[in-house]
């Protein structure tokens, strides 16, 4: 069977599975819709959290970026996994012990202010829509290649699928769907990684093959990373394993991006809401531990996949006649995500670090998807990778859309504008908000502001600058006041979003010499976070302390009670 036929078969089966699970576990109450009835086990919630958090950026784009960035690409590994440690230790168990539905609800109650709650709703919606744009674009990229439809048509198909199981099932349906999606995405990521590692290094464990020697080709007997460094030197590119060398990110920018990703992970509303679905705070902590274990399977494999894809791509294409280009190259060329420009007219594909000589432009988002084809793996493996990429993108998109839905229906309508709303009306409004959010998400997927991982990095920066300081201080600093929280959130997200918008849209050609201390838009969330902390703590000390009932709330959240935690 052809790759396209296998893709229709495997993707069709997985989509049917997701929709079937959503129908079986559809929400019948607001508790089911928002927090899955609080009855999800830590193991299953950890698996669902892994799928919710390992988005298209993790599956599709991260290894591709590492493949092009080399050593400095590990900012994504360190930032995203390190953030889960912060989440497990500092936020997840305390927010679960609080025992409500959403992050804006906690902020509104902790800071005894409807204004703070509304600002948190705005931040949650802004962050979620920024994040979901990357997911929907990832869906479009997969569909455009493997089902041979236009990228925009692929985005629409993905939006319809998310609509069916997110609007119908709510958090209950999404949770069990995400368990299935995690199984699909991790199998799809590991099978080609194992096969390529075995083929290139003779070792079936990618994490070990990554540090081993090649057993095939002209570089047989030479370590994989040594080979990549040598190839890069020959092509005039920075060494793959080089750190602070010309042509790569500077130390300050790497630190800023890593910190923004870590704090952003701990502050992402669609991840935090997952810990409201378990029975108690102890289960929330174990959920975070299980999630970290499930995530580690993919994240420890990604650097190996990046290196394998990089060496295969260059050895397959560099200085090869275009007329003899492999079929996968011609197919991806039709999507516009890989482009050959014959600058010197010799008909050879020249890949070079010199922009004047380079004839090959490759979108980093295709590296994981094209890797099985480049390595000449069977068609069913290629199709499985497509299904895994779709599972990663759709699972995260569903979680983000639920945050948007809950923020509008529960935090804005139910708590601020329509206080006497019945549970039936609230459930109807939640589903309506989710449906509208799907449409907006599809539009953002058609007109994204960057690569998948770039867009996601912006969302993490916004979460770091707005939510992380306010949540952390809300739990561990009783003196933090509503005035401080409001000022901190507004300044943090304002500075961060303005910086991103300026350097991505107003002046996208600006170089690193025009950035603030050399910090890129992906890392500016760290500056926004530090400003948030400083302003929140300063204003809080200049305003009256919180009322006694708020101080008691903070003490109750922080008191450990182990297995006796209240649901």
Each residue's pLDDT tens digit, 364-376: 878 888 889 888 8
Residue 343 three-state SS:
coil
Average pLDDT over residues 431-447: 79
pLDDT in the model for residue 540: 95
Percentage of the chain with pLDDT > 70? 91
The answer to whether 66 touches 76, Cβ cutoff 8 Å, is yes
Residues 558, 567: Cα–Cα separation, whole Å: 15
Lowest mean pLDDT among 170-179, 213-222, 287-296, 514-523: 170-179
Residue 551 has pLDDT above 70, yes or no: yes
Specify the higher pLDDT residue, 251 or 441.
251
Band (448; pLDDT cuts 50, 70, 90): low
Three-state SS across 239-283? CCCCCCCCCCCCHHHHHHHHHHHHHHHHHCHHHHHHHHCCCCHHH
Residue 339 has pLDDT above 70, yes or no: yes
pLDDT in the model for residue 30: 61
Residue 82 has pLDDT above 60, yes or no: yes
User: Using one digit for the tens of pLDDT, what is the confidence trace for 474-484?
Assistant: 999 999 999 99
Residue 307 has pLDDT above 60, yes or no: yes
**Strand 320-321, strand 348-349: pairing:** antiparallel
Residue 70 has pLDDT above 80, yes or no: yes
pLDDT, mean over the chain: 82
Band (188; pLDDT cuts 50, 70, 90): very high
Highest mean pLDDT among 124-133, 451-460, 493-502: 493-502
Lowest mean pLDDT among 218-227, 254-263, 407-416: 407-416
Residues 46, 127: Cα–Cα separation, whole Å: 23
User: Using one digit for the tens of pLDDT, what is the confidence trace for 17-29?
Assistant: 877 887 776 655 5
Residue 299 has pLDDT above 60, yes or no: yes
Three-state SS across 74-121? HHHHHHHHHHHHHHHHHHHHHHHHHCCCCHHHHHHHHCCCHHHHHHHH
Lowest mean pLDDT among 253-257, 332-336, 551-555: 332-336
Average pLDDT over residues 414-424: 70
Residue 454 has pLDDT above 70, yes or no: no
pLDDT in the model for residue 563: 39
**321 phi and psi, to 5 degrees?**
-65, 135
pLDDT in the model for residue 343: 85
Q: Which two tokens stand for residue 443?
A: 């539009």
Lowest mean pLDDT among 385-394, 395-404, 416-425: 416-425
Specify the higher pLDDT residue, 236 or 565.
236
Residue 245 has pLDDT above 90, yes or no: no
Q: Kindly list the distances between the CA atom of residue 293 and the CA atoms of 49, 255, 268, 288, 481, in Å, as whole numbers in the listed order.
A: 11, 25, 19, 9, 37
Band (317; pLDDT cuts 50, 70, 90): confident
Specify the higher pLDDT residue, 165 or 12.
12
pLDDT in the model for residue 431: 77
Residue 2 three-state SS:
coil
Three-state SS across 300-323? CCHHHHHHHHHHHHHHHHCCEEHH
Residue 221 has pLDDT above 50, yes or no: yes
Residue pointed to by tokens 């969330």: 525
pLDDT in the model for residue 528: 94
Average pLDDT over residues 496-513: 81
Band (566; pLDDT cuts 50, 70, 90): very low
pLDDT in the model for residue 206: 93
Residue 530 three-state SS:
helix
User: Using one digit for the tens of pLDDT, what is the confidence trace for 124-162?
Assistant: 888 887 777 777 777 777 777 777 777 788 788 878 877
Residue 166 has pLDDT above 70, yes or no: no
- For the chain, the C-alpha Rg in angstroms (whole number) is 24
Which residues have a Cβ under 8 Å from the Cβ of 122 and sit 6 or more positions away?
Answer: none
Q: Which residues pair with 360 in a beta bridge?
A: 340
Lowest mean pLDDT among 70-74, 96-100, 311-315, 395-399: 96-100
Q: Which two tokens stand for residue 284?
A: 């929330």
Distance from CA of residue 166 to its chain's centroid?
18
The 10 Å CB-count burial string (b at 16+, else e) for 293-329 is ebbeebbebbbbbbbbbbbbbbbbbbebebeeeeebb
Highest mean pLDDT among 180-194, 238-252, 400-414, 499-513: 180-194
pLDDT in the model for residue 338: 87
Lowest mean pLDDT among 78-82, 98-102, 110-114, 353-357: 98-102
The answer to whether 492 touches 127, Cβ cutoff 8 Å, is no
Percentage of the chain with pLDDT > 90? 19
pLDDT in the model for residue 264: 87
pLDDT in the model for residue 567: 42
């Amino acid at each position: 069977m052809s790759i396209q036929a296998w893709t229709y078969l495997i993707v069709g089966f997985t989509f049917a599975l997701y929709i079937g699970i959503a129908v079986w576990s559809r929400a019948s109450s607001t508790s089911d819709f928002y927090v899955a009835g609080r009855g999800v086990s830590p193991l299953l919630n950890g698996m669902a959290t892994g799928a919710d958090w390992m988005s298209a950026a993790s599956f599709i784009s991260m290894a591709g970026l590492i493949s092009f960035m080399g050593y400095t690409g590990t900012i994504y590994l360190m930032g995203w996994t390190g953030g889960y440690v912060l989440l497990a230790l500092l936020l997840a168990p305390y927010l679960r012990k609080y025992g409500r539905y959403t992050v804006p609800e906690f902020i509104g109650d902790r800071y005894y202010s409807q204004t703070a709650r509304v600002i948190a709703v705005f931040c949650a919606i802004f962050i979620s829509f920024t994040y979901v744009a990357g997911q929907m674009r990832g869906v479009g990229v997969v569909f455009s290649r493997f089902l041979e439809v236009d990228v925009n048509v692929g985005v629409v198909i993905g939006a319809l699928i998310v609509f069916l199981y997110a609007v119908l099932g709510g958090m209950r349906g999404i949770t069990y769907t995400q368990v299935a999606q995690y199984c699909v995405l991790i199998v799809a990521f590991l099978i080609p990684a194992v096969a390529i590692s075995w083929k290139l290094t003779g070792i079936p464990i990618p994490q070990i093959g990554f540090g081993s020697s090649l057993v095939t080709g002209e570089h047989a007997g030479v370590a994989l990373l040594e080979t990549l460094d040598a190839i890069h030197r020959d092509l005039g590119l920075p060494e793959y394993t080089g750190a602070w060398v010309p042509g790569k990110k500077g130390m300050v920018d790497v630190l800023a991006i890593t910190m923004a990703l870590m704090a952003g992970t701990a502050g992402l509303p669609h991840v935090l809401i997952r810990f409201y679905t378990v029975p108690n705070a102890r289960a929330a902590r174990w959920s975070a531990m299980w999630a970290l274990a499930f995530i580690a399977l993919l994240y420890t494999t990604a650097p190996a996949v990046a290196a394998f894809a990089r060496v295969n791509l260059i050895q397959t294409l560099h200085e090869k006649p275009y007329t003899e280009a492999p079929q996968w190259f011609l197919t991806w060329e039709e999507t516009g995500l890989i482009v050959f420009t014959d600058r010197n007219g010799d008909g050879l594909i020249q890949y070079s670090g010199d922009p004047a000589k380079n004839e090959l432009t490759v979108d980093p988002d295709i590296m994981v998807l094209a890797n099985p084809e480049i390595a000449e793996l069977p068609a069913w493996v290629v199709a499985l990778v497509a299904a895994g990429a779709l599972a990663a993108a759709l699972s995260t998109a569903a979680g983000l859309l639920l945050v948007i839905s809950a923020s509008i229906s529960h935090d804005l309508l139910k708590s601020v504008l329509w206080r006497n709303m019945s549970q039936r009306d609230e459930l109807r409004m939640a589903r309506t908000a989710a449906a509208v959010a799907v449409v907006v998400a599809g539009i953002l997927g058609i007109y994204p502001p960057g690569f998948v991982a770039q867009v996601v990095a912006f969302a993490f920066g916004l979460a770091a600058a707005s939510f992380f300081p306010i949540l952390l201080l809300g739990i561990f600093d009783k003196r933090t006041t509503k005035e401080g929280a409001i000022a901190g959130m507004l300044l943090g997200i304002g500075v961060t979003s303005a910086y991103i918008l300026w350097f991505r849209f107003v002046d996208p050609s600006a170089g690193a010499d025009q950035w603030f201390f050399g910090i890129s838009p992906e890392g500016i969330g760290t500056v926004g976070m530090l400003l948030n902390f400083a302003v929140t703590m300063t204003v809080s000390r200049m305003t009256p302390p919180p009322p006694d009932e708020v101080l008691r709330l903070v003490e109750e959240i922080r008191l450990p009670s182990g297995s006796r935690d209240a649901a």
